[in-house]
Amino acid sequence: MARDERGVGAQSEDFAAWYNEVVFKAGLVDRGPVKGTMVIRPYGYRLWEQLQSELDRRIKDTGHENAYFPLLIPESYLSREAEHVEGFSPELAVVTHAGGKELEEKLVVRPTSETIIGEMMAKWISSHRDLPLLLNQWANVVRWELRPRMFLRTTEFLWQEGHTAHADEADAYRETMLALDIYREVARDLAAIPVVPGEKTPGERFAGAVATFTIEGMMRDGRALQLGTSHYMGTNFATAFDIRYTSEAGRGELCHTTSWGMSTRMIGGIVMTHGDDKGLVFPPRLAPYQVVIVPITRGGNVAVEEAADELARRLRAAGVRTHVDGRPQLSPGFKFNEWEMRGVPIRLELGPRDLAAGTAMMVRRLGDDGKQATSIDSLPESMPGVLDEFQAFLLARATEFRDSHTRTVDSWEDFADAVSIGWAWALHCGTRTCEEDIKSITAATPRCIPLDGEPANGACVRCGVASAYGKRVIFGRAY
């Protein structure tokens, strides 16, 4: 497999190997001692913190409150909603002993929190005045993973999970779509990933949900990645956990509930949407460091080092996340390569000649033909605009890639060709048997029924039965 001088494999030769190399070599993650677990290293965790803080602000701005619920859930809670427990059973980690004794009831390590939050909602809700109840939790969850891949599928991962209760279906649906829109905004405006929002087919729904909605992004190998989901639960969990309220008319009514989540999988999505053969490429709005300053000195140059520190101070005061790489044991060339591989949007090189001229050499991670001499004094004022331009460039680049790898198809031959390199928009009968047949032949699954899809009817691309949704469905191979 071809490698550049930093040892990162070419995407075109083996995308999976490239991904695995870059997340480790860039210092995002390491393997945990238990199979399928990961250690998120400081550089990767800074990225998660940026995403978390921005998403948390948006969730709170819409009236939700953060809470925390226990990691251990009584096994009987999961069994109350039959479809839910059936969907999660293969992934459960179960505690059978504690304190040196066998437990009377097994405890499940949280795979998701619908059941334990449903139990609490039943205690906290009694009147229509208690609704809507809008909760969010930042937590870790455990789903036993047989084929782990860092950030994408690990036994333990971090996420937020929103859980809400409403008086009626209409209000719960509004909440479901509000959460989906928050996710779309975060993916597009922060991660620079042009996602498609849509509804999952019945065969792809969350276990126990009436309807599941998703945002789907295309990675640079043409595969789809589900980056966030929002579920309308109807009264399924309200029935199982007796979540009721007294209406204004004095009648006892079941609540309608929702749940929705976004996880550390987003980090994998950012890596695979923007990275290239040189390594990571981070969108400025989420990058751990937006700018890295590399002082160029031989044997130490106090004036250059002090100027780099002062420039960093001024950039930070302007709201730019800035790091000075002053490691004396490493050459400037090594640092250039390392920060390029680690995806920093802007690099500033500052040497004695630059300092004498009152300039720094600015290098963009992508989209620029070469170095650009820039006035040191102007950088604190101009850098936010430079970063915004880079953010817009990444979104446009990802959008062009997705659109050029997406085809509208009507024949099975065209469908198979399309999903071999990207996505197919195709008519679909909606049956699970047909979906399973398509997957067995092409490895493609229905990613979503796009919310903004144009009306379309006709024969299913695979079985010829009448299409079920009044619009085309996106199919693609997926992570």
Determine, yes or no, domain membership for 119: yes
DSSP for residue 161? E
Residue 454, domain CATH = 3.30.110.30
Q: Tell me: do 235 and 364 sit in the same domain.
A: no
pLDDT over 50 at 138, yes or no: yes
How many angstroms separate the CA atoms of 181 and 52, rounded? 16
- Coil, strand, or helix at residue 349? strand
Confidence of residue 170 (pLDDT cuts 50, 70, 90): very high
Q: Tell me: do 348 and 305 sit in the same domain.
A: yes
Contact 110, 123 (CB under 8 A): no
Average pLDDT over residues 304-321: 97
Residue 378 corresponds to which tokens in the numbers above? 């102007």
Contact 227, 183 (CB under 8 A): yes
Domain endpoint, select from 246, 274, 302: 274
Determine, yes or no, domain membership for 373: yes
Nearest alpha carbon to residue 208 among 225, 189, 191, 229: 229
Selected residue with higher pLDDT from 370 and 15: 15
Confidence of residue 7 (pLDDT cuts 50, 70, 90): low
Read off the amino acid at residue 145: E
Host domain of residue 64 = 15-274
Task: Sort strands 322-324 and 291-295 into parallel, antiparallel or unpaired.
Answer: parallel
Nearest alpha carbon to residue 448 among 237, 249, 228: 228
Q: Tell me: do 189 and 66 sit in the same domain.
A: yes
Sign of the torsion formed by the C-alpha atoms of 326, 330, 331 and 336:
negative
Confidence of residue 234 (pLDDT cuts 50, 70, 90): very high
- Coil, strand, or helix at residue 154? coil
Determine, yes or no, domain membership for 285: no
According to DSSP, the residues that pair with 199 across neighbouring strands are 213, 449
Q: Tell me: do 114 and 204 sit in the same domain.
A: yes
Q: Tell me: do 247 and 111 sit in the same domain.
A: yes
Q: What phi, psi does 120 have (nearest 5°)?
A: -70, -40
Residue 9 is predicted with a pLDDT of 86
Domain endpoint, select from 358, 386, 414: 386
Selected residue with higher pLDDT from 122 and 4: 122
Residue 321, domain CATH = 3.40.50.800
Task: Sort strands 101-109 and 133-142 into parallel, antiparallel or unpaired.
Answer: unpaired
- The tens digit of pLDDT for each residue in 184-223 reads 999 999 999 999 999 999 999 998 899 999 999 999 999 9
Residue 3 is predicted with a pLDDT of 46
Q: Domains in the chain: how many in total?
A: 3
Q: What phi, psi does 153 have (nearest 5°)?
A: -145, 100
Q: Tell me: do 222 and 159 sit in the same domain.
A: yes
- The tens digit of pLDDT for each residue in 451-463 reads 999 999 999 999 9
Runs of H (alpha helix) within 376-448: 379-404, 412-421, 432-442
How many angstroms separate the CA atoms of 436 and 413, rounded? 18
Poorest-confidence range of 12-26, 85-99, 432-446? 85-99
Q: What percent of the chain has pLDDT over 70?
A: 98
Q: Tell me: do 148 and 241 sit in the same domain.
A: yes
Q: What percent of the chain has pLDDT over 90?
A: 92
How many angstroms separate the CA atoms of 203 and 217, rounded? 20
Determine, yes or no, domain membership for 1: no
Confidence of residue 83 (pLDDT cuts 50, 70, 90): confident
pLDDT over 90 at 15, yes or no: yes
